[in-house]
Structure 1
Amino acid sequence: MISLPEGLAEFVARAGWGDATIEPLPGDASFRRYFRLLRGGDSAMLMHAPPPHEDPAPFLHVAHWLNAGGMRAPAILAAEPEAGWVLTEDFGNDRMRDWLDAHPGEERTAYEAAVEALAALHRLPPGPFAPYDLAVYQREAALLTEWWCPAQGLTVDAEGYTAAWAEVLAPVLARQNPGVTVLRDYHAENIMLLGGKAGAPQGLIDFQDALVGHPAYDLVSLLQDARRDVDVALETAMLVHYAHHAGGAGEDFLADYATLGAQRNAKIVGIFTRLDRRDGKPRYLAMIPRVWAALERDLAHPALASVAEWFDANIPADLRAANGAFAA
């Protein structure tokens, strides 16, 4: 029997859903838990994001901003953020990742809709969020040297790593002003197909870490997905599709796309290793080879020369050939 968090029944009652049936839902890599409330033909989603590990206030802040701008974040039905409770509109079960598993022939249509939703977001003025600045980029990239490298038994030049990233990120930072809202985790597991079909409106979830940064970042998140294979040909086609809907995406944009792809993929390799070593969640290790393969493609871009040189000098060829995988 699955135990329910303390205080759940009381919050649900205060929200007017005290007579609902409660169904626990699978969790993610965080401390958040999710439940579906069912009452007759109605349903709602309950998120428990308890302090001190979680804070739902940023989720609420971003959700209100997105909905005010015409995007489709879930409507907020009730909230007690100090206790970690948020009750929202239920977007249903048609998550883009699962829907495409069942409808692989609709992949291009689904990705076109996801790219168009991102272009619509980028046409809005940047939101009232903190900047995606060099300190954040560096802190994220450093997760690779802080977690993956030690787990692989490597002693590396951490200072050289930081210096290389500072060099390649400088032009990105210069070109990302005034910036756009960056959701930071925009991929097929965080997009809901509200109409239950490939071209349906995109319901957005898991956006609480939004910052103001470069428009290429969420494209990388979508098209170099850590959890789902995206063919390189489809990735290229979707970059062209984005350019059609959001304006030019010339050589500078593609250079920034590769740089942010490398930065994000280095971060994810570190995060997935940390989820295993610190949090006891080894299932994420199986995704590292997919992420590393994308990282290697990004490193081949001339804009990444100094970071690529660091990888050549610090990461053994056999580990790179194995796409960063851990020995069985």
Structure 2
Amino acid sequence: MENSRESELHQRQQVLQVWARQALREALGDDPGALEMLALGGDASFRRYFRATIPGRSVLLVDAPPPQEDNPAFIRAAAEFRVAGLHTPDILAADVVQGFMVLQDFGDQLYLPVLQQAAALADMATVDTLYGQAMNALLLLQSSAAPTHLPPYDRQRLEQEMCLFDQWFCEQMLGMSLSTNERSMLTELRHTLCDTALAQPQTRVHRDYHSRNLMIRQDEGGKLMSSSPPGVIDFQDAVIGAVTYDLVSLLRDCYIVWPESDVQRWLGGYHAQAVDAGILPSDYSLDQFRVDFDLMGLQRHIKVLGIFCRLALRDGKNRYLHDLPVVMDYVCRVSTRHPVMQPFLTWFETGPLPAMQNRLREARVVLS
């Protein structure tokens, strides 16, 4: 089975190579020649990325198999985000039937390693600059008055996502058999968190707006532009949803953690700018915004616990197990502030949490 899968992937790569050459010939009016494809690191999806050099620049070739990836949604979201003023990769060519695309190449510099280095050096000026640019881009996205074709982040979608925690974190990873009372408690929790999300102002939502999906772009000479708006990628799951969703994805990132004082400082600044821009109503207090931010983050992080386990168990991407401790810590720390979370927190800290910690120790994952 594994050899068959590898053979299929190799064949798709060859077809992509031939298609991309012809697509670039049509797009550029000149034959780029035989394309040498360099495989790049993947993400949490089924997409594969390759870098190819053509005269004067490099491009990204994307293999996004249609049974698993919604390529029309990627193209629609790219257009909407660009109209709003964000820097998404130009789509130079696309074949949605085969699942192939040629994209503008933003380079390799993700936010995450730069933020990690800045944190190690206590260089908060760099951190503030990068987060300032990321939040400015998010404000542009949320304030855009252009028509939208994005689907709603409705109750069904929100609750289905949270059910991933029950299925993949509790049942599949830990082998738990949830009791009737436990299922009832989790159902009530989902309803509460979804009510909070749906009561917030609704805006365009990237849905995975964090340090691994934001890039420091390069100028024409190849120099990094850390003081310029970021390149935004991995936006194909965009929806119309809660105004706090992308902000909590950014500030309570699953891959890098900041002191709560910094998170609250950034949150306060964002709230003031969003009110000034008309994204938030003037009577939407900072205190209420903080509560909504926390509860939206809990919806996201409980969901992510299930997603990371699914990525490990179903897709063989075990590296995501190393990110579980950060997300579990977010869930516990933020839940302590909100009485509505107490039944879940008591249950989680006495059952699933220690069970998962034991499982991760067996897998030699550092819990910190």
**Same fold (TM > 0.5):** yes
143, 164, 187: which is aligned to 1:143?
A: 164
1:10 aligned partner, one-letter code: V
Which of the residues 118, 135, 142 maps onto 1:122?
A: 142
Instruction: Point out the more displaced range, 125-134 or 220-229.
Output: 125-134
**Aligned 1:180-199 pairs, distance under 5 A:** 180-195=203-218, 196-199=224-227
Q: Distance in 2 between matches of 1:214 and 1:94?
A: 29
Counterpart amino acid of residue 86 in structure 1: M
Cα deviation, residue 249, structure 1: 5.3
Partner of 1:297: 333
Q: Which deviates further from its counterpart, 148-157 or 61-70?
A: 148-157
| Partners of 2:168 and 2:309 within 8 A in 1 | yes
5+ unaligned residues in a row in structure 2: which ranges? Answer: 1-5, 26-31, 219-223, 276-283, 363-368
Written as runs of structure 1 = structure 2, the 5 A alignment for 1:70-219 is 70-104=85-119, 105=123, 106-125=126-145, 127-150=148-171, 151-156=173-178, 157-176=182-201, 179-195=202-218, 196-219=224-247
Taking the aligned partners of 1:99 and 1:12, their CA distance within structure 2 comes to 32
Structure 1 residue 102: Cα displacement = 4.0
Counterpart residue type for residue 122 of structure 1: Q
Do structure 1's residue 34 and structure 2's residue 70 form an aligned pair?
no
Q: How many residues align?
A: 324
TM-score, normalising length from structure 1?
Answer: 0.91
Decide which of 301, 311, 335 is 1:265's aligned counterpart: 301
Q: Distance in 2 between matches of 1:6 and 1:52?
A: 19
Deviates more, 1:202-211 or 1:186-195: 186-195
Match of 2:353 among 292, 298, 319: 319
Report Cα offsets for 1:157-195 as digits up to 9, x if no partner: 22321122213432431233xx11100000011001114
Is contact 1:56–1:84 with CA below 8 Å preserved after alignment?
yes
How far apart are the structure 2 equivalents of 1:293 and 1:209?
Answer: 26
Check whether the contact 1:226–1:290 (CA below 8 A) recurs between aligned residues: yes
Deviation at 1:317, TM superposition (A): 5.7
Q: CA RMSD in A?
A: 2.3
1:103 deviates by 4.0
Paired with 1:134 and 1:257, the residues of 2 have a C-alpha distance of 18
8 Å CA contact 1:216–1:260 kept in 2: the answer is yes
User: Which whole-Å CA distance do the structure 2 matches of 1:229 and 1:167 have between them?
Assistant: 26
Offset at residue 228 of structure 1 (A): 1.9
Unpaired runs of at least 5, structure 1: none
Q: Residues 43, 318 of structure 1: CA spacing in aligned structure 2 closer, same or farther, 3 A cutoff?
A: closer
Tell me, in whole angstroms, the C-alpha distance in 2 between the residues paired with 1:72 and 1:325. 41
Partner Cα separation in structure 2 for residue 174 and residue 255 of structure 1: 12
- Distance across 2 between alignment mates of 1:324 and 1:148: 13
Secondary structure of the residue that 2:236 maps to in structure 1?
Answer: coil
Cα deviation code 1:243-272 (max 9, x no counterpart): 232116522221111111001101111111
Q: For 2:236 and 2:352, how far apart are their aligned partners in 1?
A: 38
Residue equivalent to 2:270: 242
Greater mean deviation of Cα atoms: 211-220 or 66-75: 66-75
Q: Secondary structure at the match of 1:5?
A: helix
- Taking the aligned partners of 1:327 and 1:229, their CA distance within structure 2 comes to 21
> Which moved further from structure 2: 314-323 or 154-163?
314-323
Structure 1 residues 322 and 314: CA distance shift in structure 2, 3 A:
closer
1:12 is aligned to 2:20? yes
Q: TM-score, normalised by structure 2?
A: 0.81
Query: Counterpart of 1:227?
Result: 255
Q: 1:287 Cα deviation (Å)?
A: 0.6
CA distance change for structure 1 residues 324 and 263 in 2, over 3 Å: closer, same or farther?
farther
Q: Is the 8 A contact 1:27 1:34 kept in 2?
A: yes
Cα gap change, 1:102/1:298 in structure 2, threshold over 3 Å: closer, same or farther? closer
Cα deviations across residues 101-154 of structure 1 (Å, max 9, x unaligned)? 344421121111111111121111373211111111111111111111122233
The amino acid that maps onto 2:105 is D
SS at match of 1:129: coil
**Counterpart contact for 1:288–1:323, Cα < 8 Å:** no
Which amino acid is the alignment partner of residue 102 of structure 2?
L
- For 2:70, the equivalent position in structure 1 comes to 55
State how far apart, in whole Å, the 1-side matches of 2:82 and 2:358 are.
Answer: 39
Amino acid of the residue matched to residue 191 of structure 2? A
